[in-house]
């Protein structure tokens, strides 16, 4: 998905003033990306981070349609889900 978290955190902080959830976005440095609940700020993050302005569901679907997930997305989905979709 071409993400550089260090740069993205700075961009989120810089552009948070333009968003609905300013205070939550300013706390981006404190987020644990594996456990933070992004549902309240997902639309703001889409506007800040995705130059094509796709919804996060479309972005994830596009990535998943191309290849089996790895890394954090693989951890999040879990073995059972991955094996049911991408059976060997």
pLDDT at res. 8:
92
Report the alpha-carbon distance of residue 78 to residue 55 in Å, rounded.
23
- Its pTM stands at 0.71
| Least confident residue range of 12-16, 17-21, 29-33, 72-76 | 72-76
pLDDT at res. 67:
87
Question: Which spans in the chain are helix H?
Answer: 5-15, 22-26, 42-49, 56-66, 71-77, 79-85
| Least confident residue range of 5-9, 12-16, 21-25 | 5-9
Question: pLDDT tens digits for 34-80?
Answer: 788 989 999 999 999 988 888 888 888 887 888 888 887 888 888 89
Domains of the chain by residue range? 5-85
Report the alpha-carbon distance of residue 5 to residue 24 in Å, rounded.
17
Report the interhelical angle of 42-49 vs 5-15 (nearest 10°): 110
């Amino acid at each position: 998905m071409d993400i550089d978290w260090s740069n993205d955190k700075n961009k989120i902080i810089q552009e948070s003033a333009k968003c609905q959830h300013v205070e939550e976005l300013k706390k981006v440095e404190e987020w644990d990306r594996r456990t933070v609940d992004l549902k309240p700020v997902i639309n703001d993050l889409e506007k800040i981070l995705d130059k094509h302005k796709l919804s996060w569901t479309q972005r994830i679907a596009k990535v998943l349609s191309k290849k089996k997930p790895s890394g954090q997305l693989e951890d999040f989905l879990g073995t059972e889900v991955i094996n049911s979709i991408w059976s060997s």
